[in-house]
Structure 1
Amino acid sequence: MKYLVTGATGAFGGLALDKLNTLVPVSDIHILARSEEKAAPLAEAGYTVHIGDYLDKASLKAAFTGIDRLLLVSSAPGTRQEEHQNAIDVAKEAGVSFITYTSFARADQSSADLATDHRYTEQAIKASGIPFTILRNNWYLENELPLVGAALNSGKLLYTAENGKAGWALRREYAEAAAIVLAGEKTFPEILELSGKPVDYATLTKALAEATGKEIAPLETNDEAFVKNLTDNQLPEPVAGFFLAIQGDIKNGVLDVQSDDFEKVLGKPLTPLVDAFKELLQ
């Protein structure tokens, strides 16, 4: 059995490899990377490296030929639909027998702009006829680090999401789940909603305060103050605007997903938020 992980030099792909190599022989693991330089440490570790990207179908064909099970890690927004369609088309041509894909919470019905490309990709995978498991990832706790950094400076965690909730968990836990599904030791449903227990920002702030031993209070604010808080802490304004949009999604319940799929895949409880913050901030 041959396995291939795309985006292997990225944060998610690297964490998935860390777990995958405990489940299957390293000699059976292939990776797709854009840069030989970035992939060099992985080649030295025994992985079979293929250089290419989603917009170069010839490079995908060379990488996917002989692969049985593919972890398709979503690319960055921009030309994502074209990139993912290329990967799916080539996977079908190459005879890949299984795809697992990193999607977005309730992508088939979500109102979030972020869900659009994922919804397209899910439909393309289904249309390909290749057996699959879609990983509808909720939200990485790491995504909140700019808010956390600002809160550690000021003693207040600013948010605009009102009572909205998200199913935060560590990126490595999402990556571990992806590796477990890719390894194929167990059969999983076609759709997995991977979400921690949904909590609001007041609860998240309480966990942060406990983890750091600092007095940090949640502070619901307006859009202008939210963005200013982030830009004052060295975040570029366009990025701060993206974070504001996510606040709107959380306010609208986009990431409020009740599911035990995550713990079922991992076979263990998720890391409690207090411990997760300690891990990230150590």
Structure 2
Amino acid sequence: MTYLVTGANGGFGGLALNFLKELVPQNKIYALVRSEEKGAALKEAGFNVRIGDYSTIDSMKSVLQGIDRLLFVSGAPGNRQAEHENVVKAAKEVGVSYIAYTSFADADHSTSELAADHIFTEKVIEESGIAHTFLRNNWYLENEMPIIGQALTSSKFVYAAEAGKVGWALRREYAEVAAKAVAGTTYPAILELSGEPITYAELAEALKVATGKDIEVIASDDQGFVDNLVAGGLPQPVAEMFLSFQHDIKNDQLDVYSDNFAEALGRPLASRVAALKELLK
């Protein structure tokens, strides 16, 4: 059996590779990177490296030749639907037997703009007939570092999502389930991977406990939220992107409860305080 992880240079893909090598023989693991240079460290760490990207079917056919099980980490927004379709079509043509795909929370019911590409990709995978697991990842706690970092600097935790809730968990927890899936653990076709949904106000209280700092919690309007992130050094367009996430959360796009995550891990998720302490080490 052979295994390939895409996005191998990314934070998620790198974590998944390290979990995967504990579950299957490392000489059977392949990592997809865009260039020899980007694959050098992975080669040195003992992984097989393949060079290519999602841009053409031919590139992906070459990458996936001889691969049995694929961890398909979603690409960057932009031309994502066409690129993802290339991956799935190539996988079908060369005989990949299983795909674990990193999707979006409650994708088939979501109205978030972030969900559209994932809904499309899930459909393409289903229509391919390839056995699969959709890893519907909620939200990485790491995504909140601009807000958390600015809170620790300014002593003000500023958010604009009102009472919207998020099923935060650590990236490593999502990546561990992904590795287990591609390694052959029997999972259902859809895994809703969400922690216990909580509000930003609750997250801020956990941050106070985790750090021992006296932090003012501010439920802000949109402009105040953006201004706070810009004051912390984030470029205006990036701050506005984070505001769009706040809008999704305010509209309950990540308020998804499921016990799938702990079951898939085989243990409880890290508590919110423990997770924050780990993140801030």
Give the shorter-chain TM-score range: over 0.9
**Is residue 220 of structure 2 the alignment partner of residue 221 of structure 1?**
yes
Partner of 1:36: 36
Aligned identity (percent) is 59
Structure 2 CA distance for aligned equivalents of residues 132 and 57 of structure 1: 20
Question: Could you give the per-residue CA deviations for residues 84-133 of structure 1, whole angstroms, max 9, x where no partner exists?
Answer: 00000000000000001000001111011100101100000001110100
- Residues 1-282 of structure 1: matches in 2 within 5 Å? 1-184=1-184, 186-282=185-281
How far has the Cα of 1:135 moved from its partner?
Answer: 0.3
How far has the Cα of 1:153 moved from its partner?
Answer: 1.6
Structure 1 CA distance for aligned equivalents of residues 84 and 189 of structure 2: 18
SS in 2 for 1:270: coil
Counterpart of 2:159, as a letter, is Y
Question: Could you give the per-residue CA deviations for residues 164-196 of structure 1, whole angstroms, max 9, x where no partner exists?
Answer: 100000011111110011100x31100000000
Question: Could you give the per-residue CA deviations for residues 114-169 of structure 1, whole angstroms, max 9, x where no partner exists?
Answer: 00101100000001110100000000000000001111122121111111100000
Contiguous gaps of at least 5 residues in structure 1: none
How far has the Cα of 1:44 moved from its partner?
Answer: 1.6
Structure 1 CA distance for aligned equivalents of residues 273 and 38 of structure 2: 33
SS in 2 for 1:70: strand
TM-score by length of 1: 0.98
SS in 2 for 1:108: helix
Moved more, 163-172 or 55-64: 55-64
Q: Is residue 206–residue 217 contact of structure 1 (8 Å, CA) maintained in 2?
A: no
Question: Could you give the per-residue CA deviations for residues 186-220 of structure 1, whole angstroms, max 9, x where no partner exists?
Answer: 31100000000000011100111111110113210
Structure 2 CA distance for aligned equivalents of residues 132 and 208 of structure 1: 37
How far has the Cα of 1:46 moved from its partner?
Answer: 1.8
Structure 2 CA distance for aligned equivalents of residues 13 and 141 of structure 1: 16
Contiguous gaps of at least 5 residues in structure 2: none
Question: Could you give the per-residue CA deviations for residues 12-48 of structure 1, whole angstroms, max 9, x where no partner exists?
Answer: 1000011000000001101111021121111122211
How far has the Cα of 1:58 moved from its partner?
Answer: 2.3
Counterpart of 1:227, as a letter, is V
Number of residues of Structure 1 aligned to a counterpart in Structure 2: 281
How far has the Cα of 1:56 moved from its partner?
Answer: 3.0
TM-score by length of 2: 0.98
